Each structure stands twice: as C-alpha cells, then as structure tokens.
Amino acid sequence: MSVNNQVSRVEDSRVLVLERVFDAPRDLVFSMFKEPEHLKNWWGPRGWELPVCRVDFRPGGVWHYCMKCVDQSQGQFYGMESWGKGVYQEIIEPEKIVYIDAFSDAEGHTNEDMPSTEVMLEFIDMGSKTKLVSRSVYSSADALKTVMDMGMIQGITETWDRLEEALQIVK
C-alpha cells in the first residue's frame, strides 16, 4: 500500500515494514526522534497531543509518553489518554534506533495484556532527503493483527504526515 510516498507491507505474518522518504537531511530526521521538544510537535495521529514526553536517549534508557486526544470531532476518543513506553536497545547515530515499544500506564508499568513490539528505525541518507524504514516485529501474527485492527496504519500515516510538516518548519 502506498500513501503519499509511504509504503507498508506485512512480512512473515508478524513483521510490519513501513518506508517513507522525508524531504529533510538525515541528521535532522534522526534528531526528531531523540529530542522531546521535537517529538511533542509531531508524535501521534492528528488530533492527539503529547502532554508527557520523557526521553532518556541511550541504550537501556526509556522513552515514556502520553498521547491525549484533544480533537472533539473524534467523538468517543476525545479526552482519552494512551500511555506508551519505549526501551532503547541500540542507537547508532544518525543511522539506526532499535527499541521495544509497549503500552504502559502513567507510572511506566508495561501493560502485559497488549502486544509489545521490537521496532527498528533505519535512517538512510539520500542527500537532501532521508528514507526512513520502520521494521516492527511482533510476538505473533495475532499480536500484529490486534494493532492493525486498532488502526495502526492510519495512525502511523498521520504521525509521519505530522513529522513531514514539523520537518518543514524546523528545516
């Protein structure tokens, strides 16, 4: 599937791969994923904000955040909070970030009832542009289906649209 210049595909029934080319240099795109002040401007689907965003950007460090729906037109989602937690496994600046992504609560405790995933972000230098490849490995095909049924593709597409817009502002 291709949206804008975004491509998504499922490999091996439990691996979701997303690719998109951003109109910004690699160092800048990479920094958008490591700086809380940048993440607050684009992370999450449209109509959602990041009122909490704590980042300890190092292997073993934790990224803990809260997405909150601030768009009344989203009906039942308005006012809803969704907490997430990433634990960084590997960072090679400005080429790669690997982290375990999980749903959590406000205290940072992982929600074991929801699927977690290993995410590898690869930042490929294309001169004035950057190709971002996100590879998410789920524990099972059912775990991937659960997040797909929750609207994962639409959410990531809107999130990456917001990243492109934020890049154009800071570029």
pLDDT for res 9: 85
Architecture of the CATH domain 2-44+90-101+108-170 = 2-Layer Sandwich (3.30)
**Mean of all residue pLDDT scores within the chain:** 93
Could you tell me the pTM of the whole model? 0.92
The DSSP-derived string for the chain is: -EETTEEEEEETTTEEEEEEEESS-HHHHHHHHH-HHHHHHH-SSTTEEEEEEEE--STT-EEEEEEEE--GGGGGGTT-EEEEEEEEEEEETTTEEEEEEEEE-TT--B-TTS--EEEEEEEEEETTEEEEEEEEEESSHHHHHHHHHTTHHHHHHHHHHHHHHHHHHH-
pLDDT in tens, 127-150: 999 999 999 999 999 989 888 888
